[in-house]
């Protein structure tokens, strides 16, 4: 009896006191919905890297299951699924939700705006993170940088663009603010999920599309249909996002919150350098492997019209949406300050190197 009594005491102490003493080590199981399909690298890699880091740093106690778009079947539903708590997290891009609130849009990137290092500096040291949380708090969510593509190419076109007239009636897939800029210039703009891009171009549903850059674009095969590849203007620093349900986040132990934030930030930067590497490799072999690709830059007439359209739209939305105005004025002020340093440190360095070659 004494042995049984002692055994009972041990079991009681283990059951009652041990869980309280290790509250932060409780098991947490989350689900994440991606906007992307399972083969879209490096976007998918970024999410997997983040989830793997969370699991490792938590000793296997915080596990995030990833569902690609082919599983949950609703890329454009990611926002609402995270908001409603069907998924604790999502991975997408803030500008996809501009129809819900225009203030989300500049949190991805803006035409003629910051480069990636400039925008990361704004996010983490220039007030950008605070403004992003301000935008999403009304929706019961948090948003964190989720990986940057760097400067994107201007798109694949079936026909060469020589003037503004060539844009009239053109059917193009292009998201974000750039789509609205081109719509003012006569382009019929649509937003198509990544998995449907090639088929839409092949069938003539669209005449042109903008995706990312050579590292991702070549594998999609767009060059087989639309050989004119234009340099960028529209997305100089496209930042993806990790969406997080606020109630789920608030329930996490402090230790897990820190683990999650560290994992997201590390995975986001890793995507930037991974995609940079992929594009550098693709670009170096593109002319040899794909000699039919014609790399072009938009004529000055077209670029100037784009800038005029952009400025008119920004002015319009600043008047209509106070938070959009606050975010844009913050970005504009920071860009004005940081661009001088970018010019001195990067542009003049590159120019001097090209002049000595």
Q: In what order do the strands lie in the sheet with 228-230?
A: 188-190, 171-173, 208-209, 155-157, 228-230, 294-296
Residue 210 known to bind ligand: yes
Same domain, 136 and 182: no
The answer to whether position 302 is within a domain reads yes
What pLDDT does residue 5 have?
A: 41
Residue 174 and residue 150 in contact, taking contact as beta carbons nearer than 8 Å:
no
67: CB partners within 8 A, 6+ apart = 31, 32, 33, 34, 87
Helix spans in the chain (H): 2-21, 43-57, 69-72, 78-83, 116-125, 128-137, 176-184, 197-202, 214-220, 246-251, 254-289, 300-320, 322-342, 348-356
Task: Report how far residue 34's alpha carbon sits from residue 75's, in angstroms, rounded to the nearest whole number.
Answer: 7
Are 97 and 144 in a shared domain?
yes
pLDDT for position 63: 98
pLDDT of the residue at 259: 98
152 is in an annotated binding site: yes
Give the C-alpha distances (Å, rounded to integers) separating 172 from 23, 106, 153, 298. Answer: 53, 21, 14, 15
- 125 & 260 share domain: yes
Residue 354's pLDDT is what?
Answer: 86
Could you tell me the mean pLDDT of each successive run of 10 residues in the chain, 357 residues long?
A: 38 37 73 97 98 98 98 97 98 96 97 98 98 98 98 98 97 95 97 91 96 94 96 98 98 98 98 97 91 96 98 98 98 98 96 84
35 vs 72: CA distance, rounded Å: 9
Tell whether 99 and 221 lie within a shared domain.
no
Q: Is 39 within the bounds of a domain?
A: yes
| Residue 6 confidence (pLDDT) | 41
Domain housing 45: 28-148+237-277
Residues 159 and 262 in one domain: no
Q: Binding site annotation covers 118?
A: no
Is the domain of 219 the same as that of 307? yes
Domain co-membership, 262 together with 221:
no
Backbone φ, ψ for residue 28 (5° rounding): -125, 130
Predicted confidence at residue 9, as pLDDT, reads: 35
Cβ pair 235, 176 in contact under 8 A: yes
109 shares its domain with 82 = yes
Dist. CA 84–CA 72, nearest whole Å: 15
Q: How far is CA 45 from the centre of its chain?
A: 13
Residues whose CB is less than 8 angstroms from the CB of residue 94 and which lie 6 or more positions away in sequence, other chains included: 104, 105, 107, 108, 132, 143, 239, 241
Give the CATH number for residue 76: 3.40.190.170
Into how many domains does the chain fold? 2
Rounded distance between C-alpha atoms, residue 341 and residue 121, angstroms: 12
Closest to 243 (Cα-Cα) out of 86, 102, 125: 86
pTM equals 0.89
Identify the pLDDT of residue 357. 65
pLDDT single digits (tens) 269-282: 999 999 999 999 99
Q: Are residues 47 and 178 in the same domain?
A: no
Inside any domain, residue 141: yes
Sheet holding 141-148, edge to edge: 62-67, 28-34, 89-93, 239-245, 141-148
Number of neighbouring beta carbons within 10 Å of residue 333: 13
Q: Are residues 255 and 316 in the same domain?
A: no
CATH of the domain at 203: 3.40.190.10
Query: What confidence score (pLDDT) does residue 66 get?
Result: 98
* pLDDT tens per residue across span 278-335: 999 999 998 889 999 999 999 999 999 999 999 999 999 999 999 999 999 999 999 9
User: Does 68 map to a domain?
Assistant: yes
Three-state secondary structure call for residue 188: strand
179 and 144 within one domain: no
Q: Are residues 65 and 136 in the same domain?
A: yes
């Amino acid at each position: 009896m004494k042995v049984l009594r002692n055994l009972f005491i041990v079991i009681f102490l283990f059951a009652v006191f041990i869980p309280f003493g290790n509250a932060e080590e409780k098991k947490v199981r989350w689900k994440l919905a991606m906007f992307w399909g399972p083969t879209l690298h490096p976007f998918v890699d970024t999410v997997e890297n983040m989830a793997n880091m969370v699991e490792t740093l938590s000793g296997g106690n915080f596990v995030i299951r990833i569902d690609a778009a082919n599983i949950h079947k609703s890329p454009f539903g990611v926002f609402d699924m995270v908001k409603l708590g069907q998924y604790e997290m999502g991975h997408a891009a803030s500008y996809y939700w501009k129809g819900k609130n225009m203030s989300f849009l500049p949190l991805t990137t803006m035409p003629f705006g910051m480069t990636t290092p400039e925008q990361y500096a704004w996010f983490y040291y220039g007030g950008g993170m605070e403004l992003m949380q301000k935008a999403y708090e009304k929706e019961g969510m948090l948003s964190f940088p989720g990986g940057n593509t760097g400067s994107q190419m201007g798109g694949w076109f079936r026909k060469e663009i020589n003037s503004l007239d060539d844009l009239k009636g053109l059917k193009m897939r292009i998201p974000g603010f750039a789509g609205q800029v081109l719509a003012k210039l006569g382009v019929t703009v649509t937003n198509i999920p990544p998995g449907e891009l090639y088929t839409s171009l092949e069938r003539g549903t669209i005449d042109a599309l903008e995706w990312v850059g050579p590292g991702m674009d070549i594998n999609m095969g767009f060059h087989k249909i639309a050989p004119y590849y234009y340099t960028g203007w529209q997305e100089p620093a496209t930042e993806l996002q990790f969406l997080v349900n606020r109630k789920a986040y608030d329930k996490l132990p402090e230790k897990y919150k820190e683990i999650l934030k560290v994992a997201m930030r590390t995975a986001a930067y890793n995507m930037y350098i991974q995609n940079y590497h992929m594009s550098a490799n693709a670009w170096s072999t593109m002319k040899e492997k794909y000699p039919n690709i014609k790399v072009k830059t938009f004529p000055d007439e077209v670029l100037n019209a784009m800038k005029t359209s952009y400025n008119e739209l920004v002015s319009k939305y600043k008047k209509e949406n106070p938070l959009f105005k606050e975010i844009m004025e913050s970005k504009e002020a920071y860009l004005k300050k940081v661009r001088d340093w970018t010019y001195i440190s990067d542009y003049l360095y590159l120019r001097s190197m090209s002049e000595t070659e």
